[in-house]
Structure 1
Amino acid sequence: METRILKFLTFLIYFFHLHSKGTAAPVGVCYSRAATNLPPTSAVVSLLKSNGITRVRIYRPDPETLTAFKGTEIELLIGVPNEQLAALANSTAVAAASWLQSNILSAVDPSQVPYLAVGNDVLLKDPNLTPYLVPAVLNLYGALQRLGLENTIKLSSPVGAAVMSAAYPPSSAAFDLNQAAAIVPLLQFLRDTDSPLMVNVYPFYSYVGNPKSLTLDYALFRSSTIEIDQNLGYTNMFDATIDAFVYAMEREGFRDIPVVVAETGWPTAGGEAAGADNAMTYNWNVMMRASSNFGTPKRPGIGVEVFLFDLFDENEKKGSQYEKHFGIFRVDGAKAYDLRFN
């Protein structure tokens, strides 16, 4: 009886928040460019505008690319490449300010840049650069202070679920002890500067990596089963992963740091469970949760800002075949599936 009541209450909370009128979390799109056949950035900007997309993640601060966005109403999450971390960490705030001016602020107005992503999944992809991550963040923050932009542009560094030694059930989540030396100072900075933890969330990878333990329906928001954890009900892997990060932060003593999903998506081809229908189902459900103020079971009513990966397929992407097929649009501007942003 208690389980039935809990399931009913979970449904009511979901329904209420999905139809409430609170401030919606923005939905953006990632603009990764590991491809040889992409349209010019001017055409990309037109495509974004015509589809009502007002936030974009750009992975490298190429001034020519950024200039195409100048004066538009499109806001940018701009990446500081991993290979820049050592130089920025070993420099000064003055040198970091010069780097910002040359690579970003000379090309686009700072009012269009709510976030800088300092590195991407550094602890997993480039562990040798881990010692440079927080020093680089601190020097860039000092640079923003010198420029009077510390309250305009927020700094963070996207991490993936691999930084946790345990992630399921969410309440058991904890950061890997080997990563604590980098994670804890980063969280301290985020709390002190009222900045979000950026996370890369991919239920697709979780399903492909462990299909015997995770159902496709749970990954795609289609599950009719509610997984109970600490009196909270979970119907999908997206919510469970975000709350795992929240629990892991709380375990380190950080309770109120917001979460921004800097990447999430589903491929349309290239492997098991990849396909346009599944990509549509996953991304549409993510968008609906973000465009309402639904939140997660751990943080109901607190909307989660998301950036969907990716704008186009990438024919030069390395790794498994499906890595090349996350595009929401085709290079001619047609949609790979009918995902509507406006």
Structure 2
Amino acid sequence: MATRAALCWRHVAVVVVVVAALLAAAGVTADPGKVGICHGRVGSNLPPPAAAAALLRQNGITKARLFLPDPAVLPAFAAAGIDLMIGVPNENLTFLSAAGPNGALQWLQSSVLAHVPAERVRYLAVGNEVLYNNQFYAPHLVPAMKNLHSALVTLGLDGKIKVSSAHASSVLASSYPPSAGAFDAASITVLRPMLQFLADTGAPFMVNTYPFISYVNDPANVQLGYALFAAGAPAVTDGALVYTNLFDATLDALVAALEKEGFGAMPVAVTETGWPTAGHPAATPQNAAAYNAKIVERAARGAGTPRRPSLPVEVFLFDLYDEDGKPGAEFERHFGIFRAEGSKAYDINFV
């Protein structure tokens, strides 16, 4: 027998479906220029998926990144009309690499498309930061990506759903000045075939970038204001280009690295960025509000970077809620933009 709480959240899910239907009838769809939000689930006090999906729509957010194809989450987000970036967990890469296109097709159908309609899926993010630190899964990454793309071709979905992989900023061996950007030599044997695959399939290069963490790791050389987009922060001059913030500088170092490999026109998507509210002296609600508001504003106006000013950067903010189960430093557990009951952790608007 269903519990009272379960019945309550089923009611919420029904409401989400109705709201989504009304929005669709009115022609309200996801705006590629709007910022998306990541929904990590490593927490003990997270609201049910239907409540999370409803919260996104209430705040005008129509895109989300999920880190795995959770069958409890996918239907609620799809019903709310949220366009999705769905993560393929690292631990699935060995199977997807060895299984071939047919095995990847079976996985895709049973793990993803059985729970969410294809029209709600924009990206498959295959692996997360696979080339960072422990590279056990690195040899399996590109074969898994290719097999999943072949599965999408079989289903006629390769034009709608793009396959890529989210990298840590440490994929760059050099990032200062931005024009000196270059990929880590230890990862280049994986990156080169991946870059060719992304170019052939029209998918973006994905990166997770956190100016906050750059500041924490090197406060002697990274100014807090430069990490925060603060007005008047000391700028970095790189040839004819001027950088007033670390976000732009990091992305342009990545663009420079792409150019060196012959892929200078490849779009870049920021799959994670954000600022925590606790766990470090610089992790305050005020700083989080300042940083994330600037990211939202930039996404809304389709801002590029000094090196590519006319090419907008798609961005996903981290994180929807605090995740009290995350390992690592204390600040890792305090990136939530919303509290569990639905209120904002600080003043920020998305529309």
Q: Do they fold alike, i.e. is TM over 0.5?
A: yes
Q: Which region of structure 1 is more displaced relative to structure 2, 223-232 or 323-332?
A: 223-232
Which of 264, 272, 277 is residue 263 of structure 1 equivalent to?
Answer: 272
1:338 aligns with 2:347: yes
Look up the SS of the partner of 1:114 in the other structure: strand
Unaligned regions of 5+ residues in structure 1, if any? 1-22
Which amino acid is 1:296 matched to? T
Tell me the distance in 1 between the aligned counterparts of 2:103 and 2:195.
Answer: 24
Query: Are the counterparts in 2 of residues 294 and 300 from structure 1 also a CA contact under 8 Å?
Result: yes
What letter is aligned with 2:84? L
Q: Secondary structure at the match of 2:128?
A: coil
Amino acid at match of 2:51: A
Matched, 1:306 2:319: no
Contact 1:82–1:126 (Cα < 8 Å) also in 2: no
| Counterpart contact for 1:117–1:156, Cα < 8 Å | yes
Partner amino acid for 1:161? S
Q: What is the TM-score when the length of structure 2 is the normalising length?
A: 0.89
- Residue of 291, 304, 324 corresponding to 2:300: 291
Deviation at 1:294, TM superposition (A): 2.1
- Contact kept? 2:39, 2:319, Cα under 8 Å: yes
Paired residue secondary structure (1:56): strand
In structure 1, give the amino acid aligned to 2:332. Answer: E
Tell me how far apart the structure 1 counterparts of residues 269 and 173 of structure 2 sit (CA, whole Å): 21
Q: Is the 8 A contact 2:54 2:80 kept in 1?
A: no
Percent of aligned pairs with the same residue?
Answer: 50
Answer yes or no: is 1:185 the counterpart of 2:182. Answer: no
Return the alpha-carbon distance in structure 1 between the equivalents of residues 302 and 190 of structure 2. 31
Q: Which structure 2 segments of 5+ residues have no match?
A: 1-30
Q: CA deviation at 1:26?
A: 2.7
How do 1:156-235 residues align onto structure 2 when only pairs under 5 Å count? 156-224=164-232, 225-235=234-244
Q: Equivalent residues in 2 for 1:61-72 (5 A)?
A: 61-72=69-80
Partner SS for 2:69: coil
Query: Larger RCO: Structure 1 or Structure 2 (Cα < 8 Å, ≥ 6 residues apart)?
Result: 1
Asked whether the equivalents of residues 24 and 303 of structure 1 are also in contact (C-alpha less than 8 Å), the reply is no
Q: How many residues align?
A: 320
Q: CA RMSD in A?
A: 1.1
Matches within 5 A, 1:12-51: 25-51=33-59
Q: Distance in 2 between the 1:132 and 1:106 partners?
A: 25
Change (3 A) 1:125 1:63: farther
Q: What one-letter code is carried by the residue in structure 1 that aligns with 2:123?
A: Y
Q: Which moved more, 1:27-36 or 1:221-230?
A: 221-230
TM-score scaled by length of structure 1? 0.92
Residue 83 (structure 1) aligns with = 91
Over residues 142-172 of structure 1, what are the superposed CA-to-partner deviations in whole Å (9 max), with x where a residue is unaligned? 1101111010100110111111111111100
User: CA offset at residue 223 of structure 1?
Assistant: 4.5
8 A Cα contact 1:59 1:81, kept in partner: yes
Task: Give the partner amino acid of 2:184.
Answer: D
Question: Structure 1 residue 64: deviation in Å?
Answer: 2.0
Deviation larger for 75-84 or 61-70:
61-70
Indicate which of 117, 122, 144 corresponds to 1:114: 122
Q: 2:110 aligns with which of 95, 102, 114?
A: 102
SS at match of 1:88: helix
Aligned-partner Cα distance in 1 for 2:209–2:231:
18
Matched, 1:241 2:250: yes
